[in-house]
Every structure is written in structure tokens, then in C-alpha cells.
Amino acid sequence: MKEFELKVTGMMCTGCENRVKNVVKEIKGIESVEADHNTGIVKIKCDTDVNMKEVKEAIEDLDFKVE
């Protein structure tokens, strides 16, 4: 199990948090996702074989920026 924290800009509300969580949860191997629009932090717990590039692209496809 791996844990990651991503800094995501553009989340303004709980709706934004939910959009990020829902899209990331769909990726194979993701165990859990927490998003906080106040801090811009997205915490991800996943299997060791998850492609983080895929995670970043999924978030950026929602028009948020992963730093």
C-alpha cells in the first residue's frame, strides 16, 4: 500500500472535492481518496502498481491543476 499527497489548485467547494474523489476512485488500484478544497491537498491510498500519471491526468481532465 502506498500513500500520496497531491497539491491540487482550482478546487473551490465540496462539490469540487467530490468530483476529484469520484474520478480518482474509478482508477484501478485506488483504495481511498480524501480531498480538501481549503488546503488543496488530495490524499490517496493505493496499491503499489497504480500509475500516478494516470491519477494526475484524471484530475487535470476536470480542469484542476496538479502541482
Q: Where are the domains of the chain?
A: 2-66
| Domain 2-66, CATH | 3.30.70.100
Count CB-CB contacts under 10 A for residue 30.
18
Residue 17: pLDDT over 90:
yes
Count CB-CB contacts under 10 A for residue 15.
10
What pLDDT was estimated at residue 60? 98
Residue 28: pLDDT over 90:
yes
Give the pLDDT band of residue 48 (cuts 50, 70, 90). Answer: confident
Please, what sign has the CA dihedral across residues 55, 48, 45, 67? negative
Q: In angstroms, what CA-CA distances link 25 with 18, 59?
A: 10, 11
pTM of the complete model: 0.92
Give the pLDDT band of residue 29 (cuts 50, 70, 90). Answer: very high
**Rounded CA gap, 20 and 22, in Å?**
6
